[in-house]
Structure 1
Amino acid sequence: MGRLGGIARHERSRSAIETLQSISVTRASGVAGDKSGVIRPGGKGRRQISLIEAESWDAALADLPPGADTALPWHVRRANLLVQGIRLPREAGKVIAIGESLRIVITCECDPCSRMDEIQPGLKDALLPDWRGGVLGRVLTDGDIAIGDEVRIEE
């Protein structure tokens, strides 16, 4: 069992990241107010919500080239949720439960993009091994979540 360590959203591509203490997450809109939450007509919702492990983020920062900024906050990764103390499954179809009712099915790995190197040279490569960039998923059941909530793997 792990804990929810952070919540973030951004309204538009390349817009500022907003960190939050709590939020509603729904099948209809994902993380409320986030650009990726609404599934387009005919879409599969593979990228509706993103999660990253605090431990993977720390490992990526430790692997940055000498002289790099290793104090970057997790949300520059542009993930929605930061989990701590739990290893996220590295395969599609597994279900992550957060809080009392939120359920997310993993759809795929969240591959780091070139934007990561814009933030910090070398960050993209540091996030590539072992799914360090996190996972993407689709919301199965709605839930209100808050930092500190329990995170579990159900399937």
Structure 2
Amino acid sequence: MAGVIAGIARHGRAKGPMETIDRAEVSLDGGIAGDHRGVRKPGGYGRRQVTLIERIDWDAAMAEVARDLPWWERRANLLVEGFDLPQVPGTRLRIGADVMLEVTRDTEPCHRMEALAPGLFAALSPDWRGGACSRVLAGGTIVVGDIIRIETS
């Protein structure tokens, strides 16, 4: 089972604007280069270094609230297509040839989602629809169009 990275986004500071990019460096200590959430704090576990959301889940949430907002408004780092994100912490995901992420938990929606569209918080809440958080296990370069798959070995 494999999918594709359909989008990459980052934000340089808390509550700062999201920037969409076509290519990103990913590192153990910094997550996606230029994204403030990816920096692993001293003694921290990096449970939220990189966040991922499925396009199908974002589209379903948009349909539920009768809106058409771009996916990066979710404030996720990676948009995945054709891939069902595993809902099991500890699952390893390979992106491209080098990058390896470990799913740590679901990405719970925050109050900012409700400010975007009434009902969006509830639309993103069930069944990990808000996405998955992950930590970086192996860094490298990712680009839009890279394959994402569950690492089995």
**Partner residue in 2 for 1:112:** 109
* Stretches of 4+ aligned residues off by more than 4 angstroms: none
Matched, 1:78 2:78: no
**In the alignment, what sits opposite 1:133?**
130
For 1:14 and 1:37, locate their aligned partners in 2 and report how far apart those are by CA, in whole Å: 14
Deviations 1:68-119 (A, max 9, x none): 4x21000000000000000010010001111111000000010001110111
Mapped pair 1:144 → 2:145: no
What is the aligned-residue RMSD (CA, Å)? 0.8
Q: Percent identity?
A: 49
Q: TM-score, normalised by structure 2?
A: 0.96
Match of residue 95 from structure 1: 92
Shift of 1:28: 1.5
- Counterpart-to-counterpart distance in 2, 1:53 and 1:92: 17
Output the amino acid matched with 2:94. Answer: A
Matched residues in 2 for 1:39 and 1:107: separation? Answer: 14
| SS of aligned partner of 1:63 | helix
Matched residues in 1 for 2:48 and 2:83: separation? Answer: 21
The answer to whether the aligner puts 1:26 opposite 2:53 as a matched pair is no
State the TM-score, normalized to the length of structure 1. Answer: 0.95
Partner of 2:55: 54
Asked if 1:44 is matched to 2:9, the reply is no
- Rounded to whole Å, the distance in 2 between the matches of 1:136 and 1:142 is 16
Q: 1:33 corresponds to which letter in structure 2?
A: G
TM-superposed CA distance for 1:5, in Å, is 0.3
Query: Structure 1: which 5+ residue stretches go unaligned?
Result: none
Residue equivalent to 2:7: 6
